[in-house]
């Protein structure tokens, strides 16, 4: 669990407080913090949620760009956005030895693998790119950010399917709370909308046949695949205050558990999710009654949404806190989902407004939650959770609170 500072005198585990001071986003609904937020409040697009309008050449240049997989491009642009949002590297005054990188993914450079398999089949092994391995490896995004900005602290890539983003942000916060780092670049990225990726998810019946993402809706029939990436600048709170940084929120706690049940199906009645949320609350020194909002995993698959709904009800009662899923807009971006949702949660706290769950019009009668639908809901910011649950039974919960 995450070692955190006691929030507002609550009995937590002593540690250094963690501020979110920069947000960088590459998402299907918008590139950059402001465009992303506007997109979350708008109408969902149709079909797979692809990122459009991305120009990574200012970061890589045209030659290097050909040697960088799309998921790494996403994380690089998001990191640059986050740095600018935090006031720039000069304002951050990063000590390279005390700056870390935690950028996860679900499948890494799938586009590169797919392309190079075609090369192998059509032109033979000698024509396979010598850059194949460094382009496809899951740690490439984290390594790229570390090298680009000279960050010599811990540099790691968490690969836990759809929980990777949430667990990366939690792990990054832990590095600050325990005193190892003062600044951490934390997030995740994914670019798996390829012919082979879509075929694999489709054949396992995970994708929506209607092509519509409908989290918690009685008619939901699977997720709509998405892509993207997000990076948050996490910073020790006193340091952030001393430099006059804008503080979106504090990370108060987090937890990780495993279902130990099935490679794709959630544990019955969301038991692994229950323990994850409960441990995260203990870590943050919060009681269930103090939580006022949950950014749900909410993928739009029948089994996941039901299990998560049951888990939230077991921990928080019914109707419980206000719940939303942004996947009606973003689709399910797999390993990138948790970091996009962490960014959304930090912005929700800053703006005092909860985005609606797009696509939900007919509530599943078996799910008894207070789900925000139709329009954004005005909200007095308070303690809030973000959930992510991945194939393999990986569960992650992140707790944020308003800065006070």
Active site residues: 162, 297, 332
Distance from C-alpha of 187 to C-alpha of 78, rounded to nearest angstrom: 9
Q: Which residue has the tokens 């937890």?
A: 255
Q: At what angle do helices 337-351 and 33-40 cross, to 10 degrees?
A: 90
Given a contact cutoff of 8 angstroms between Cβ atoms, the answer to whether 139 and 107 are in contact is no
CA gap 321, 289 in Å, rounded? 8
Question: Helices marked H in 86-235 — which ranges?
Answer: 89-92, 110-123, 132-136, 140-149, 164-177, 195-203
The answer for residues whose C-beta is within 8 angstroms of residue 180's C-beta and 6 or more apart is 98, 100, 153, 154
Distance (Å, rounded) from C-alpha 251 to C-alpha 397? 11
Give the Cβ contact number of residue 375 at 10 Å.
11
**Other Cβ atoms closer than 10 A to 45:** 17
Q: Is the dihedral of CA 360, 107, 159, 134 positive or negative?
A: negative
User: Which tokens is 252 given?
Assistant: 């108060």
């Amino acid at each position: 669990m995450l070692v955190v500072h006691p929030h507002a005198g609550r009995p937590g585990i002593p540690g250094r407080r963690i501020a979110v001071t920069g947000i960088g986003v590459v998402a299907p609904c918008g590139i950059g913090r402001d465009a992303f937020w506007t997109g979350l409040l708008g109408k969902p697009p149709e079909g797979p949620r692809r990122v459009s309008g991305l120009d990574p050449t200012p970061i890589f240049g045209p030659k290097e760009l050909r040697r960088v997989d799309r998921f790494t491009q996403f994380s690089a642009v998001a990191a640059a956005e986050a740095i600018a949002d935090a006031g720039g590297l000069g304002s951050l005054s990063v000590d390279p030895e005390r700056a870390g990188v935690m950028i996860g993914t679900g499948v890494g450079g799938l586009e590169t693998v797919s392309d190079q398999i075609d090369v192998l089949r059509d032109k033979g092994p000698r024509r396979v790119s010598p850059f194949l391995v460094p382009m496809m490896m899951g740690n490439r995004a984290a390594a790229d950010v570390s090298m680009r900005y000279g960050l010599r602290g811990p540099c790691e890539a968490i690969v836990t399917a759809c929980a990777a983003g949430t667990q990366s942000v939690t792990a990054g916060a832990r590095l600050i709370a325990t005193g190892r780092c003062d600044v951490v670049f934390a997030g995740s990225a994914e670019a798996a909308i390829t012919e082979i990726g879509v075929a694999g998810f489709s054949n396992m019946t995970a994708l929506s046949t209607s092509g519509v993402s409908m989290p918690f809706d009685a008619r939901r029939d699977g997720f709509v695949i998405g892509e993207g990436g997000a990076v948050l600048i996490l910073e020790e709170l006193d340091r952030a205050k001393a430099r006059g940084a804008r503080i979106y929120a504090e990370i108060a706690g987090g937890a990780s558990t495993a279902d130990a049940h099935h490679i794709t199906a959630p544990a019955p009645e969301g038991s692994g999710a229950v323990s994850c949320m409960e441990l995260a609350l203990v870590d943050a020194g919060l009681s269930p009654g103090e939580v006022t909002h949950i950014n749900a995993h909410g993928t739009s698959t029948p089994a996941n949404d039901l299990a998560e709904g049951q888990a939230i009800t077991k921990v928080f009662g019914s109707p419980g806190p206000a719940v939303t899923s942004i996947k009606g807009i973003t689709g399910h971006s797999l390993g990138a989902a948790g970091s996009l949702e962490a960014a959304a949660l930090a912005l929700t706290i800053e703006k005092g407004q909860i985005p609606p769950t797009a696509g939900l019009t007919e509530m599943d009668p078996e799910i008894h939650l207070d789900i925000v639908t139709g329009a954004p809901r005005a909200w007095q910011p308070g303690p809030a959770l973000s959930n992510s649950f991945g194939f393999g039974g990986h569960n992650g919960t992140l707790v944020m609170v308003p800065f006070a």
